[in-house]
């Protein structure tokens, strides 16, 4: 199966450019800072996945390897948010 690398790279560049323009627009949007940061982090993760998928050649790998690489990232975010929620209680060992 021969894939045209040039067209794949051009499509990826266009997609990353569009996502970057959307991020710039979000930064000027007058919304609550918490939601703004959440949206920007979501777009940053989408761009990270796109770069990993294309430029790290995960496009050609099996589904299992892609899952091994992309499943830990949402889990890490979940665990960090869980720890941040728990940190507000200021547990003190006596």
| pLDDT value for 26 | 92
List of residues 6+ apart from 55 with CB closer than 8 A: 12
Measured in Å, how far apart are the chain's first and last C-alpha atoms? 65
Residue 1 has pLDDT above 60, yes or no: no
Alpha helix ranges (H) inside 1-94:
5-28, 33-55, 63-70, 72-87
Q: Tokens in use for 58?
A: 């995960």
pLDDT in tens, 38-81: 899 889 988 988 888 888 777 667 777 767 777 787 888 888 88
- pTM exceeding the 0.75 threshold for the entire prediction: no
């Amino acid at each position: 199966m021969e894939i045209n690398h040039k067209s794949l790279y051009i499509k990826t560049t266009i997609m990353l450019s569009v996502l970057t323009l959307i991020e710039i627009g979000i930064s000027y949007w007058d919304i609550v800072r918490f939601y703004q940061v959440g949206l920007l982090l979501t777009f940053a993760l989408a761009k990270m996945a796109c770069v990993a998928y294309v430029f790290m050649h995960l496009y050609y790998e099996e589904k299992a390897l892609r899952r091994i690489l992309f499943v830990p990232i949402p889990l890490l975010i979940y665990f960090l948010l869980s720890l941040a929620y728990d940190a507000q209680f200021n547990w003190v060992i006596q």
